[in-house]
Amino acid sequence: MVLRRGIALAIALLLLFEIQTCLSQLQINRGSFPKGFVFGTASSAFQYEGAVKEDGRGPSVWDTYSHTFGRILDLSNADVAVDQYHRFENDIQLMKDMGMDAYRFSISWTRIYPNGAGEINQAGIDYYNKLINALLAKGIQPYVTLYHWDLPQALEDKYNGWLSPDIINDFATFSETCFQKFGDRVKHWITFNEPHTFSIQGYDVGLQAPGRCSILLHLFCKAGNSATEPYIVAHNVLRSHATVADIYRKRYKNAQDGSLGIAFDVIWYEPETNTKEDIEAAQRAQDFQLGWFLDPLMFGDYPSSMRSRVGSRLPKFSQIESSLLKGSLDFVGINHYTTFYARNNATNLVGTLLNDAIADSGTIILPFNRTKAIGERANSIWLYFVPEGMKNLMNYIKHKYGNPVVIITENGMDDPNSPFISIEKALKDEKRIRYYKGYLSSLLASIKEDGCNVKGYFAWSLLDNWEWGAGFTSRFGLYFVDYKDNLKRYPKQSVQWFKNFLNSTE
């Protein structure tokens, strides 16, 4: 009898714990998060603005790439995108209506310097002044990304862009111009968006601008070296950030009372098995993703696993560069969407054949193991729902890097843009609500249970938009954009969910 009562009590306690956990997730809202925690949505100039030939804007590498046949899945381009250049006031009102605190957007380099350098284009300055002022008038704080992949085509033509150290001075001049013109109102700067992504996708596999690679003996790309160029690009990006951070801290930070960081793309990696080989492989995969960029910024050099495996192909920092890099972040931006399995790549036959940077980590990273997918899939072939990955990643950053200030600069999921799905049906995005609820709950647990130093969260994205190589085939927005009817915006069910979430503080 005593034993049965003990078992019954244990079961009851377990059920109570499960109920409380479910209730806490159902009731999660703004009030669940620490006071002052920032909520916003994120975007980029090239994906949103359109107006690519208006008011003196010059061409970027993405203009060139998107107009190259076969590069974009649906053969579209971003000449109009979602036309935020002309509709920003209405879009800001949508953010206000939801209760958002902030808006992360990027400044198009070629709107400020049409040729990447030289004479300033005043019309570009005027546009971003209007955008920033309109945000502040609605009580929405601007978080500004200086580089979201839209390198001026003129600099690519002149000296191969990020492959040349000449880019450092030109990027510093552009950045300082932005500090001078907008820094009195912009308090949060992000120098680069996802440097890992554009280093690999643009210079290793050639699937993003400027489309360089050497895989398959240049059958896919006209030029490039997949074994060396990603490392050169990343090195120049880091040196550029260090230069800009030094300028900002010496000339603007105190007077403008601002902060500066980078937004890193980070997939969380789970070892496929509990073997020593797979556990080490998961760590290497992270070294070659987040560590590639964050280690130099925190410790002054690349991870030791990269030094040993890449060898002489990995550039070296001078002592002065290392000192400038170390501690040059006020916050760590994290773009996190999903989790993959990682396993040791014992043979590496494909990597040896392709001779590219991806193979250097000696890992195989996939969103499924030998028997099943890691979670429910969104539209994108790489995006699976694994909410606990958010908590694991926040704890990893806390323990490895000394619990720095973190801002989730992107998080979200996509639905397909199908001609067979009616607008009415597309607005019923329960799947997106489930995604956000899961990931925000996991993020909250990392803060409250583990003490992770996270200060903000930005959903990707306010609107359906032009998704790089996927074109208009992918819908990440909280608002549905009708591409067939004057780009009208319609709120999905997730908009109402965020309204309830942001306007409840109990």
* 194 among known catalytic residues: yes
Per the CB < 8 A criterion, the answer to whether 162 and 151 are in contact is yes
CB distance 285 to 342 below 8 Å = yes
Stated length of the chain: 506
Q: How far apart are CA 446 and CA 390, in angstroms?
A: 8
Please name every residue paired with 457 in a beta bridge, in sequence order, or none if there are none. Answer: 39, 408
DSSP letter string, 301-364: S--HHHHHHHGGGS----HHHHHHHTT--SEEEEE---EEEEEE-SS-HHHHHHT-GGGGG-EE
Q: Which residues are paired to 144 by β-bridges? A: 105, 189
Burial of 234 (0-12, 13-18, 19+ CB in 10 A): buried
Count CB atoms within 10 A of the CB of residue 408.
27
d(CA 296, CA 324): 10
Helix/strand/coil for 74: coil
Beta bridge partners of 332: 262, 406
Which position among 194, 272, 321, 467 bears the catalytic label?
194
Angle at 428 between CA 387 and CA 139, to 5 degrees: 75
User: At a CB cut-off of 8 Å and minimum separation 6, what does 153 contact?
Assistant: 58, 59, 60, 61, 63, 64, 110
Phi, psi angles (nearest 5°) of residue 412:
175, 180
DSSP assignment of 285-303: HHIIIIIHHHHHHHHSS--
Q: Is the dihedral of CA 311, 323, 335, 375 positive or negative?
A: positive
Annotated catalytic sites, by residue? 194, 410
